[in-house]
């Protein structure tokens, strides 16, 4: 195990305006890293950057981008804006955290939003990781974190697109871990369970749904994830309940699990 000297590193975090992304920024900054905060919501990014720069001047900057598409408008405010930034700036840690979900019967959901989800959850981390590796591999150092989900190990009826995107993140990260280990690059897949974030509201999960279960704290999720990164692990299920869910998934056949989960998530159930 090689210790990480965060004080000499720059971390770029997507989805840094709230939730897990904002907490990754705070905890990496607390450990001494400089941070680049990426998200669509400029005012939230500015508030977080001001908070961090008040502690250590010139240690946080923002990059406003919409990761649902490669280009946005006449200027590049999409994924390519972040790719170009990575191509011209040193990045030691890439945290692919940005993501969102949807809830409902697939054929009734707005297709444009499902396609946007593919952009944020799949296309963006793929392109950003590829760009970051162009500088990490020659240095023989760097860290890449994919924030997947326990949804990535289990098909989710009524959240089928979301689960499929998180399965991509999980398996892409695990594959890269073994590809890049000899290159000195750390790759970690993080599979949290329900966390105290804006996810449920963004996914339009109805109030009072059984989907809206007890949630883990983002501080615990991020702290355990960074500990796993430092130990050069490939995969972490932070907090207690995701570990139990992973264990149960190993015991129950996939089709049975899908039926059980679908029974819980089914819209309009009594």
Token pair 């860290």: residue? 143
DSSP-derived secondary structure letter, 3: P
**Which residues are catalytically annotated?**
162
Rounded Cα distance between 76 and 168, Å, is: 26
The per-residue DSSP string of 210-240 comes to TTS---B-HHHHHHHHHHHHHTT-SEE--SH
The helix/strand/coil state of 142 is strand
d(C-alpha 113, C-alpha 92), whole Å? 32
Q: Give the C-alpha separation, 75 to 66, whole Å.
A: 12
Tokens found for residue 257: 């699990």
Q: How far is CA 231 from CA 74, 90, 159, 193, in A?
A: 44, 23, 33, 21
DSSP annotation of 5: -
Q: Give every CB contact of residue 175 below 8 A, 6+ residues apart in sequence.
A: none
Closest CA to 195 of 249, 252, 151: 151
Structural contact between residues 141 and 120, judged by C-beta atoms closer than 8 angstroms:
no
């Amino acid at each position: 195990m090689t210790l990480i000297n965060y004080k000499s590193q720059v971390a770029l975090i997507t989805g840094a305006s709230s939730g897990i992304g904002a907490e990754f920024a705070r905890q990496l900054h607390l450990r001494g890293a400089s941070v680049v905060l990426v998200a669509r919501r400029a005012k939230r990014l500015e508030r977080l950057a001001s908070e961090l720069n008040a502690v250590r001047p010139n240690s946080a900057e923002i990059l406003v981008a919409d990761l649902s598409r490669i280009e946005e408008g006449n200027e590049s405010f999409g994924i390519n804006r972040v790719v170009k930034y990575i191509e011209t700036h040193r990045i030691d840690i890439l945290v692919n955290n940005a993501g969102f979900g949807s809830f409902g019967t697939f054929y009734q959901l707005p297709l444009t939003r499902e396609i946007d989800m593919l952009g944020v959850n799949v296309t963006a981390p793929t392109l950003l990781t590829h760009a970051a590796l162009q500088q990490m591999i020659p240095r023989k150092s760097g860290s890449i974190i994919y924030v997947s989900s326990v949804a990535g190990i289990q098909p989710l009826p009524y959240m089928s697109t979301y689960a499929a995107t998180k399965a991509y993140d999980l398996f892409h990260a695990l594959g890269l871990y073994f590809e890049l280990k000899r290159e000195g690059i750390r790759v970690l897949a993080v599979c949290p369970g329900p966390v105290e974030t804006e996810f449920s509201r963004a996914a339009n999960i109805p109030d009072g749904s059984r989907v809206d279960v007890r949630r883990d704290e983002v501080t615990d999720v991020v702290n355990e994830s960074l500990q796993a990164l430092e130990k050069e692990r490939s995969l972490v299920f932070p907090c207690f309940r995701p570990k139990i869910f992973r264990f149960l998934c190993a015991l129950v056949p996939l089709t049975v699990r899908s039926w059980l989960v679908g029974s819980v998530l089914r819209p309009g159930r009594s």
